[in-house]
Amino acid sequence: MATFNVVVSDPETGRSYTREVEGQDANRFMGREIGDEVDGTAVGLEGFTLEIRGGSDDAGRPMRGDVRGPALKEILLEGGVGYEPNRDGERKRVTVRGREVSDAIAQLNVAVIEGEGWVPVALGEAEPEEFEDIEPEADEDTEEDVDAEEPDEEPTEEGAADEAAEDTDVDEAEDEAAESEPEEGEEATDDESAETDDDENAEASDTPETDDDEAAETDDVTEESDDESTESAGEESEESAVEESSEAEAADDEDET
């Protein structure tokens, strides 16, 4: 017949209580594994639910959740349940128990996960008067359900008036924004037109300067042509004078002969 020392952990108070179970109460744990839920009646907590968190055999070898079955097994550990390394990277081969509860287990560690009331009072470790001024924490799921079931409050006349005033202010602000947008567009159009006119005037003012330069270049070409014509006329006159003097000399020679 199996006999266990069950260590019950109470998360509400942070205390732990040890109870010895045997017979039918012990059989409630037999064959269960780490992480399984058990009725709290096995340890005298009627209306509570327990969860198996671990345990050890009579030699102190711990149960590990990553080892199947109830038998002993030697595994190489880097840390966790059954081995605490002294330095980084240290490993050790350790003999541990599997995650299944068997009659070889001497101690079981369980935690209360559900139930109404106070665990110390249910176990006879405290009087109810000690917890009269303390309200147990409600489950988060229960609080969410209560919030979801609460109907929305109907708006009062004052609240409706305030909402209407806020809507009116919003509409007026939107109208003002819509009116200001075309003015900004017109100002932008005027600025673009002014810039275009300035560019055209600048181009027009640059055009006369170009015409003056071209006219000056034409005058220079004309003066060069006149100079060339004058030089050609002078050369022709000199040639004509030389020819006339030659002819006169020839005529004088003939007369003398």
pLDDT values of the chain reduced to their tens digit, one per residue, 257 residues: 688 899 999 998 899 999 999 999 999 999 999 999 999 999 999 899 999 999 999 999 999 999 999 999 999 998 999 888 999 989 999 999 999 999 999 999 999 999 888 898 888 888 877 776 666 555 455 455 545 555 455 555 555 566 666 666 666 666 666 665 544 444 445 555 555 555 555 554 444 444 555 555 556 555 555 555 556 555 666 666 666 666 666 666 666 54
User: CA-to-CA distance for 216 and 239, rounded, in angstroms?
Assistant: 35
Residues 13, 119 contacting (CB under 8 angstroms): yes
User: CA-to-CA distance for 206 and 88, rounded, in angstroms?
Assistant: 83
pTM of the shown model: 0.51
Find, among 98, 134, 136, the residue nearest to 11 by Cα: 136
To 10 degrees, the CA torsion angle through 245, 250, 251, 253? 130
Residues contacting 120, CB < 8 A, separation 6+: 10, 13, 15, 17, 126, 130, 131
The CA-to-CA distance between both ends of the chain, in Å, stands at 182
Centroid of chain to Cα 3 = 55
